[in-house]
Structures are given as structure tokens and as C-alpha cells.
Amino acid sequence: MSQENATDYRAMWADLGLDLAKHDALLGALGQMYQEVYLSQADRPESMRYFDFVMSEVHGLRVKELLDAQAAGRRVVGTFCVFVPEELVLAVDGVAVGLCAGAEFGTEAAERYLPRNTCALIKSFFGFTLEKVCPYTAACDLVVGENTCDGKKKSYEHFGGMVKRFYLMDMPQMKSTAGRALLAGEYRRFAAELEELSGREITVAALRRGIETVNAKRAAIRRLNQLRAADPTPISGRDALLIQQVSFYDDPVRFTGSVNAVCDELERRIAAGKGTAPAGRPRILISGCPMAVPNWKLPPIVEAAGAVIVGEESCVGMRGLRNEVSTDGDSVASLIENLVDRYFNIDCATFTPNPERIGHIREMVDELAADGVIHYALQFCAPYQIESVKVEEQVERGGVPVLRVDTDYGSEDVEQLRTRVEAFVERIAR
């Protein structure tokens, strides 16, 4: 997000059809935000420098890597949901990138297609695309949407026409036998689409390699999240969130190595009793909607209030990381069944009923010794806003206070949020 190397990439951005003036404005704003939220932190782990570098090049070097991969015959596949298996994309030697956006941009343009009461995440990926500032969407050979919430499902009817090639994955709504069969059928259909797109047949060896790569990536982030159980916690909540956000963009093998390097350093910090804040600070678990990059609104507010964030129960967090895919099986069909076994457990609020999620929140509270839960929902996100009532009732019944926050990507409510978070932190202080 730095503009230092911007001149090197202007031709690339122009070739991708970006609006250079608007794109400059976006990079300028994000660079400043990154400085304030990330680079201003004291005593960060040294190994976070890799992630600073990735972010400084997120519209530069990484996009160039994608275009180089394309030039070498590989296909770039953009996704919006952790239900779309990266393993299958890797099995055709493709590159998967997350396209969710976490900043308010192009809202007026987005509202030509979407009602005002659409969640900020959907408006954001429309705004970024319509204002021509997202090099990722522009670079994709295929964009995959999925029938999860109504907002995404219906908005893809417009969005599909704005990208080079669009594919829609149907999604079950219930964790029933029929729901599982639907997901299995959809994964087989998606595998065939990828084969057609890439001109490559998925083999057992290639799919197994893809599974191993993604298992290793998820294991590295789970390791990171386990280390946050220490008191004092060895890494700030915003840095841990950043790592999880970068997981949707970076090369998976390089990313895994970099996360494990952070974990090694955090282990040394824990052994030395070193933390990002003194021990005994109120410990908070954030639960709810995914925070796509560069949505860094809530963590700095929580940390400035004197609390530490010890985990994220979110798709940019543990919801997207639980459970490995088994590599057992000697056919592509059996490996796809293994994918279904893992993915069908994801406890997204678009499923009904969704009791597993509350169980997972409780588990995380125990494992991370959280003193309170902040339920984070985007305004107009019916699945998570409605489910938050049950989360509050049932988690509080177990003696753990919950604060429900409904917000968007704007800054208008920051002071109000700050007041509510400070009062909550005071309430849970030990």
C-alpha cells in the first residue's frame, strides 16, 4: 500500500483497466491507515516485518506475481467465502485469492445496484469493482460466488456481469443429509469447472498436494492462535488479524513459512514472559462477521481501551481454520468427499439452525481464557445480527459477558463504539 514503488506498477494497473487517479487516492488513504494502526505499535514481533512488506506490496508485487502466473498458463480464481475450497484450485495449479473488501469505497456507485440497507462487505466489493480500484478482481480468470446470505446471492446477479467469467456455487442452508449431498455435488461440479477453465485434469496426486498445502497453512494459523492463550499475550489482536487477512492473498507455501516464523518468535517471547501488554489485562474474544482487509476498525478501539484480543471467532479467524482435510483415499472422488467432510462443519450463520457456533464460541472462551466476548456484526447482515441474540443469551448464561456491536466500515460511529467498548472493558476487568 505504499506509493514508493507505485511508479513501477502504473503500467500494470493501467493494463488491468484501473482508474489510476482513484487508485492513487485509495492507496494513499490505506497507507496512512496502515501507519496509524500497525506501524505505530510499540514492540511488535520482528517477524511481522514480512507482513508489513506484503501489505506494502499488496496491489503491487503480489498482483504482478498473479499476472506472471497467468502468463505461465496458470489460472487465477477469486472467491468471497471460506466454503470455496482452495484445495481444488491448487489441484489444477491455479491461484486462489480472496476478493472481499473491508473499506468504504464507491458507495454511491454500489447503491445504483444495491439498496442502502445492504451490508458494507457487499457494497464494498461492488464499489471497488465499479470504481475500478481492485487489481485482484480485474486480474481474475474466474470469480466464484456462492449462495450463502440473500444479500450475496442476489447481488451476484449483477456482479456476475462485471467480471471476466463468473461461476455460482449453490450452498445448503441446513446441516442435513440432503444438505451434505448438495455440497458434495457442488464441489464435484466446481472441480469440473476448474478442469475446463485450466485445461488440466485433477489427479489424485495433485489434489492430495493441494490438500496438504492448505492443511499446512491452516495448521500454522491455528498454531498462532493457540499461542495467544498465553498471558501476557505475545501478539496484538490487530497483528493476528492482519496475518489471517493476508492468508487470503499470499502464496500459501510462503505464507505458511512466514506464519511459522512468527510462531517461533512468539514461543520465545512467551518463554521470556514478554507480551504486547502487561499480564492480567481483560481478555476479549471477537465473534461474528468476517473482517476483510483493510477493515481494522474495531481492534484498535478494543486495545486502546486497555483490553487484549485473544481470538477471532470469524471466517477471518477460527471459523475458517478448524479441522484438517484427510488425505486418505485413492481416487479423486474420495478426496472430494474428504473435502466435504471438513467444509460441511463450517458454522456459518447462513445455516439454520446453527448451534455448533455457540459451542465453538464457548470452546474458544475456555481455551483462550477470555473474560468477555464482543459480537461484531455488520449492519444489515441478517444472519449474524439475528444470531447474535442467541450468542448473547447462551454465552452469558455460562457466566461470560457479551457486548453486541453492529457497525459498518464508516467512521461516524467510532466515538460511540469507543464509549461502549470502554464501559464493557471496565465491566469485565478482573
| Contact footprint for ligand BJ8 (CB under 6 A) | 81-83, 119, 121-122, 148-149, 151-152, 289-290, 315, 346, 348, 350, 378, 381, 383-384
The least distance separating ligand BJ8 from the CB of residue 39, rounded to whole angstroms, comes to: 28
The values of phi and psi at residue 406, to 5°, are -115, 120
Three-state SS letters, the chain: CCCCCHHHHHHHHHHCCCCHHHHHHHHHHHHHHHHHHHHCCCCCCHHHHHHHHHHHCCCCHHHHHHHHHHHCCCCEEEECCCCCCHHHHHHCCCEEEECCCCCCCCHHHHCCCCCCCCCHHHHHHHHHHHCCCCHHHHHCCEEEEECCCHHHHHHHHHHHHHCCCEEEECCCCCCCHHHHHHHHHHHHHHHHHHHHHHCCCCCHHHHHHHHHHHHHHHHHHHHHHHHCCCCCCCCCHHHHHHHHHHCCCCCHHHHHHHHHHHHHHHHHHHHCCCCCCCCCCCEEEEEECCCCCCCCCHHHHHHHCCCEEEEEECCCCHHHCCCCCCCCCCCHHHHHHHHHHHHCCCCCCCCCCCHHHHHHHHHHHHHHCCCEEEEEEECCCHHHHHHHHHHHHHHHHCCCCEEEEEECCCCCCHHHHHHHHHHHHHHHCC
Nearer to ligand BJ8 (CB atom), residue 233 or residue 407: 407
Nearer to ligand BJ8 (CB atom), residue 2 or residue 244: 244
The least distance separating ligand BJ8 from the CB of residue 373, rounded to whole angstroms, comes to: 17
Nearer to ligand BJ8 (CB atom), residue 35 or residue 345: 345
Nearer to ligand BJ8 (CB atom), residue 148 or residue 236: 148
Nearer to ligand BJ8 (CB atom), residue 289 or residue 325: 289
Nearer to ligand BJ8 (CB atom), residue 27 or residue 140: 140
| Residue pair 351/173 in contact by the 8 Å Cβ criterion | yes
Length of the chain: 430
Cell reading at 39 = 506501524
The least distance separating ligand BJ8 from the CB of residue 331, rounded to whole angstroms, comes to: 28
Residue type, position 261, single letter: A
Nearer to ligand BJ8 (CB atom), residue 242 or residue 425: 242
CA end-to-end span of the chain: 39
The least distance separating ligand BJ8 from the CB of residue 342, rounded to whole angstroms, comes to: 13
The least distance separating ligand BJ8 from the CB of residue 100, rounded to whole angstroms, comes to: 7
Nearer to ligand BJ8 (CB atom), residue 22 or residue 154: 154
The least distance separating ligand BJ8 from the CB of residue 64, rounded to whole angstroms, comes to: 27
The least distance separating ligand BJ8 from the CB of residue 347, rounded to whole angstroms, comes to: 9
The least distance separating ligand BJ8 from the CB of residue 133, rounded to whole angstroms, comes to: 20
Nearer to ligand BJ8 (CB atom), residue 1 or residue 346: 346
The least distance separating ligand BJ8 from the CB of residue 149, rounded to whole angstroms, comes to: 3
The least distance separating ligand BJ8 from the CB of residue 381, rounded to whole angstroms, comes to: 3
Nearer to ligand BJ8 (CB atom), residue 121 or residue 270: 121
- Rg for the chain, CA atoms, rounded: 21
Nearer to ligand BJ8 (CB atom), residue 135 or residue 290: 290
Sheet holding 283-288, edge to edge: 308-313, 283-288, 372-378, 402-407
Residue located via cell numbers 511508479:
7
| Residue pair 6/24 in contact by the 8 Å Cβ criterion | yes
The least distance separating ligand BJ8 from the CB of residue 56, rounded to whole angstroms, comes to: 26
